[in-house]
Every structure is written in structure tokens, then in C-alpha cells.
Structure 1
Amino acid sequence: MVPRRTVLGGLMATGLAPTATWADAGQPTYVTAALRPDGVYTLCGLDGAGQITFEVPLPARGHAAAVHPTRPEAIAFARRPGTFALVIDCSTGHQIARVTAPEGRHFYGHGAFSADGSLLYTTENDFDAARGIVGIWDARQGYRRVGEFASGGIGPHDILRLPGTETLVVANGGIETHPDSGRAKLNLPTMRPDLSYLTPDGTVLEQVELDADHRLASIRHLDVSPDGTVAFAMQWQGDPNEAPAPLGLHQRGSSPALLSADNADHLELQGYAGSVAFSNDSQLVAITSPRGGVVQVFRASDGAILRSITAVDACGLSSHSDRGFCYTSGEGHVAFWEPGGRTVALSAHPRAFDNHLIRVS
């Protein structure tokens, strides 16, 4: 019998070696950062039933992840003001590369790939200059840094690519921070958040600012529907009892629409939306609030609230089935909601799931 290593070596030499897929990583539906009871931070894969398919240790607390469009690779980003992002082969658990923010920078915990997966874009803080940066990394060259451009504002947090295009949308939260001051917010009297649409070389195609009453509504997290509608979640930096709508929808060339529940349900959010997601059919949009312990679901067409779900410390959120949503909590719960009011507890783990639930497929 010819040894398997010899066979694989021959296949590699001919270019016919099998290519790893997400099936080799247990076919996860989502990836998320977590904290285990032994104090180890990890990146986990979760399947559609909420079961862990893989788990890889991280050197410190993670925030969100970016998923490669063709390979079973996930980029696990450190929580702000972290400086690492690990490129993980989810089929083997091996670290492929470590992406380190340049001197004088830190990551904001989010990134996005170009359509073909050749480039990774990362949101960064040039903290001494108090300006937002988008870093460019070449995934074909071991994630070597190959460029950067201005994000269009201060405090760029989330970044996504509009489907079918190379246009990037950046949530510039507007908040100036500096590692020497920890997580202190240094410019609240003058902050101006915005939503910026950028080309891959940094040309500003469009910028959206809300009115003066929303100046303290930091635009933080994003989701994008197939038709390019952007959902953005905000975190109010003033009195929570005076917080305006925490959720907005925007299409390029139009004015943003703000969505809010009636007063009692609105106040439950405590001015803080943690994650945002469209349903798979784009008819519904939802936000989480770990501070308020709720998940709120809205109809995208007219902004009507359909459900406010009690969910202690829920923050991670993504689509599930055609019209449903999956959410995770800091208490280790994975749950699913679908129209008609049914909430299903999929699983519970001895983990503290972190802020975001990133869909793989």
C-alpha cells in the first residue's frame, strides 16, 4: 500500500490536492468569540442547532470575526483597543497568521474581505492623530499589510462590503479614544458619527450623518441585505432615558429611516444596541441589547416592532432560517426566534459568548 503522505505529496505536486472546506470544520453556521470557565478566551464555531463544532484558543478577549468567502478561515479580532487579529484555519484549528496593528494603531474588532477573498480590510484607530483608518492586508501573501486609507470619520467600528460590489460601508462611531486613557471617551462635546461608503482605495462615495438630535448616537454595528440596504445599530452616549431610536436603515442616495419601539419597549434598551441583523429574506431586522436584556424585531418595510424578547445578556445576533434570528448570550445560551412568536432554546454551554455572532453560510 502506498503511504497516504506519499499520495498527498503526489497530488500536491500535480495541483490536485483536496481543498479544505467548511465541512472540514464541522460545517459551522456561525462563528463567535467566547470565554471558557477556565479563563481561556476562544473562537467557536456553532452549527444551526447551537452546538460547538470547533473551538480555538485566543491570546486575549475577542470581539467579532471576519469569514473568508471561499476557504474555512476566520479572522478573530481582539476587543478594542487590542492589536492582534488571528487568522485561523477552522478545519485544523491551526493559526495561519497573526495580523498585528501597526505602531500607533489598534483594531476596533471588525474586518471585511474583498469579494474574491484576496484582501482583508480592518478598522483601526490612529490614536495620536485621532483619525479613523482602514487597513488593507493581502491574504495571498500571508496577510501582509499593503496599504491603508482614511475611514471617513473618527472611531470606525464595523465594516462590511456591499453585496455584489467592492464598495465598503464603515460605521464611524465618532468617539475619540486613546489607549493611555483606557476606554474613556475624549470628545463627547464634539462627536459626529457617520456612515461612510468608500471604494477599495478610500474614495468617499457617500457619507450620511444624522441630525443634531442624534449627535450622541454612536453608529457602531452593521448588517447589509442583498439589495444593499444597510442596517445600523447605535449606542447613545447621553442619558439613557433620553435616547432616540437605536436602529437605522439606509440605501445609498436616500435619507436614513430610524426605527424605534413604543416608549416602554424602547426604554428597555437603555440606549444601547449591541448587534444588528437582517432576516434571510430581508423582511425583518433585529437588534440586541445586553444592557436591557432584550432582543427586538422590526418589520423592515415600515419600521413596526413585532416582538420584544426577554433575553438576559443577549448580544450576538444573526439570521436563522428564512425569517428567524439566532442570538447568543453572556450566560452561554443559544436561542432562536421565528415569526409567530416561537422562541426556542437551542443549547446552553459553559461559555460566556461575546458580542457578535457571525454567519458563515
Structure 2
Amino acid sequence: MATRRHILAGLVASALPRLSWADAGSPAFLAAARMSSGAFALHGLTEAGAMLFAIPLPARGHAAAAHPTRAEAVAFARRPGTYALVIGCASGTLRARLTPPDGRQFNGHGAYSADGALLYTSEVVAETSEGVVGVWDTAGWHRVDEFPSGGIGPHELRRLPGSDDLVVANGGIRTDPQDRSKLNIETMRPNLSYLSPDGAILEQAELPEELRQNSIRHLALAEDGTVAFAMQWEGDPAEPVPLLGLHRRGEALRLCPPREEDLFAMRGYAGSIARSEGMIALTSPRGGVVQLHAEDGAPLATLARPDACGVAPLPGGFLVTDGGGAITRLTPEGFRPLERTAAAWDNHLVRI
């Protein structure tokens, strides 16, 4: 049920002039990158990988959130960060700069409500890494609420399809607020937390005890609410573990190992994840590979791509960006080059 705060925010937002994504050139994706000059920018890309716009960022970016209707994006700093920039992508103008409360840090990701009236941000209490979801009114860009994320070290959060409920990847890692050193590897407990728009915990899912050092980081959602999640292994590097899991509310977690010959290909690190037409893609810049799985988690292929991390769905496959500046199309048959740029693409490619 919508809250009074939500309704009022929507009424104010409806009175604002709207520029649609068509006014920004109809980009299909958003991605942060470091340019050859050393400067950072948020880019809009077509499905063919062509650049439509580049909007300066003050420091290295991580992910972005795209407004569901108007040509607006929020660019998040690389975690732990203290900026989130609200950008008018049709005009290239800065509309607002969001700053977390004292003692907090943004953690790289956010998501709009279905109607775009609210923005939810992934945050931590700097000293303890306790997870918080910040809530912002997108009409005047005021912080209107916050609630616990359900765990330690939240990273990506997403809105469930057809709902304003959220799912949060609580990575479980407590980090030093200054140097990001990991402080609780022996006791970490990652989880998926499902939250109502007002912060009530609807459900939580944890990994089995022997895999509690597998930090849940990134999410890709199916229309039926099934959550595919990517993990980063903090345990013994000589021990191969699955880096892909699947979960649907009310059911048990399912872990999805690759083929035996590919157990070490990702070097314990999944950087990003996407779903497309019955396939799941999992990238590893550390391993220099992208793994493809079927919708049920069965392994399909492991394909080499140096420093590949950003991935997002395309019809029949995926778009992949890498740190070397390449933008490629990926299908089960392999990679097809689309564009070669001077940009060192950062971690994520966000479908609009």
C-alpha cells in the first residue's frame, strides 16, 4: 500500500516538466568509465554500443539507476562513496547531488520505485558496516526515510518486478571505513533480504554454513520474481565454490556450479550478472572470462574476455563492456566486436 509520503511525492513529481528517454537519444544502457584523459563520465549507449552522451563525474563511478520514464539517472560513486549525482541525461545537467547522513557511506547501487517518485539507496554505517536503505523523494530530492537492509555490507538492491518490494544483496563483510580492509571474514554471514517499501523484512535467505564466506554482491531478476545472484568467495582460494545462485521467495536457495573443468576459471570472483531470454551471464574481470548458464542454472559455456565486467541483456544475448575499452555482443556462440573506445569501462552496464 502506498504511504502518504509516497503519494505526495508522486503528485509533486507529476507537476514537473518531463523529458523522456527519447529526448536523450533513446539510450539502451548507462555505464561509467574512465576516459583517456583520466577524467570520469557516465555514458549513454545504444544497443549497438555507440555512445550517445558522456556526462562528467567528479570521481570514479560504479553503477547507475535509471528513472522508469523521464530521462534522469542517478550515478553512484564507487563504494564506499559519498556522492550520488542526479543527472538530466537529455540536457547533461546536474539536478542534485545526494549526500548520505554523517557517518554513512553509499555502497554503489540504488533503485527507483515503480512510479519513479522515490529512490532507494544502498548504504552502510561507516564504523560498523551495518546496512541501511535510504529513501529519497525524487521531486525535491529530500531524504524522507531510512530502514535497516537486513544485514551487514549491503551492495546491490533491486525492485522486484510488478512490485515496490525490494531485494537486497547483503554481502556480509564488515570493512574498515578508511582503507576497506575486511574485518570479519571468519564470522561473515551474507544474505538476501526481501523488504517492503516501508522496510519490513518479508523474507531472508542465507547460504549454507560451509559457504558463508561467499559474499552475495549482485542481482538479476526474472519476471516471475526469481533472483539470480552473483557471489565473491572470501574463503580458501584453493577451494572451488559456486559463484551463481538462484532464489525465489518461499523456496530454498539453489547453487549453480559451472562445469568441472571451469571450477577455477573465475578465480572466486563474479563482478556482475545479467539475464536474457533464458540465459544468465556472469562476468569475472579477475578471471578474464564470462560464464553463461541456462535459466535453471545449468552451465552452458565459459568464454574468455580480458577484464570483462559490465553485462546487460540484449535480444538473443548480452552486451559486455571491459576495462580495455571494448564493447561486444555475446551469444552462446561467442563474442562479436561492436565498438572499440578509449574508455576504460567500469563494473556495471545498466539496462534502461
TM-score, normalising length: structure 2: 0.94
Query: Which of 201, 217, 222 is matched with 1:220 structurally?
Result: 217
What SS is found at the alignment partner of 1:23? helix
Query: Which of 321, 325, 340 is matched with 2:318 structurally?
Result: 325
Q: C-alpha separation between the residues in 1 aligned to 2:131 and 2:147?
A: 9
Residue 140 of structure 1, CA deviation: 1.3
Aligned residue number for residue 159 of structure 1: 157
Q: C-alpha separation between the residues in 2 aligned to 1:206 and 1:243?
A: 29
Q: Given residue 248 of structure 1, which amino acid in structure 2 is its aligned partner? A: G
Cα RMSD (Å) of the superposition? 1.4
Ranges of 4+ aligned residues in structure 1 off by more than 4 Å: 15-18
- The answer to which of 157-166 and 124-133 deviates more is 124-133
Aligned residue number for residue 245 of structure 1: 242
Residue 80 (str. 1) matches residue 79 (str. 2): yes
Residue 342 of structure 1, CA deviation: 4.2
Residue 343 (str. 1) matches residue 335 (str. 2): yes
Unaligned runs of at least 5 residues, structure 1: 1-14
Q: C-alpha separation between the residues in 1 aligned to 2:211 and 2:302?
A: 23
What SS is found at the alignment partner of 2:152? coil
Aligned residue number for residue 228 of structure 2: 231
Aligned residue number for residue 183 of structure 1: 180
Residue 17 of structure 1, CA deviation: 9.9
Residue 285 of structure 1, CA deviation: 0.8
Q: Please list, as runs of the form range in 1=range in 2, the aligned pairs for 1:73-112 lying within 5 A after superposition.
A: 73-112=72-111
Residue 16 of structure 1, CA deviation: 11
Equivalenced residues, count: 339
Query: Which of 169, 172, 178 is matched with 2:170 structurally?
Result: 172
- The answer to which of 236-245 and 220-229 deviates more is 236-245
Q: Given residue 350 of structure 2, which amino acid in structure 1 is its aligned partner? A: I
Residue 305 of structure 1, CA deviation: 1.4
Q: Please list, as runs of the form range in 1=range in 2, the aligned pairs for 1:186-205 lying within 5 A after superposition.
A: 186-205=183-202
Listed one character per residue, the Cα deviations across residues 334-356 of structure 1 (whole Å, up to 9, x for unaligned) are 111224x1421111100100000
Listed one character per residue, the Cα deviations across residues 266-322 of structure 1 (whole Å, up to 9, x for unaligned) are 21100000001110x3x1111000000001100112x2211111100000011011x
TM-score, normalising length: structure 1: 0.91
Percent identity over paired residues: 53
Query: Which of 327, 337, 344 is matched with 1:334 structurally?
Result: 327
Q: Given residue 330 of structure 2, which amino acid in structure 1 is its aligned partner? A: W
Q: Given residue 75 of structure 2, which amino acid in structure 1 is its aligned partner? A: A
Aligned residue number for residue 10 of structure 1: none
Q: C-alpha separation between the residues in 2 aligned to 1:262 and 1:20?
A: 47
Unaligned runs of at least 5 residues, structure 2: 1-13
Q: Residue 128 of structure 2 contacts residue 174 of structure 2 at CA under 8 Å; is this kept in 1? A: no
What SS is found at the alignment partner of 1:357? strand
Q: Residue 107 of structure 2 contacts residue 123 of structure 2 at CA under 8 Å; is this kept in 1? A: yes
Q: C-alpha separation between the residues in 1 aligned to 2:289 and 2:129?
A: 34
Aligned residue number for residue 299 of structure 1: 294
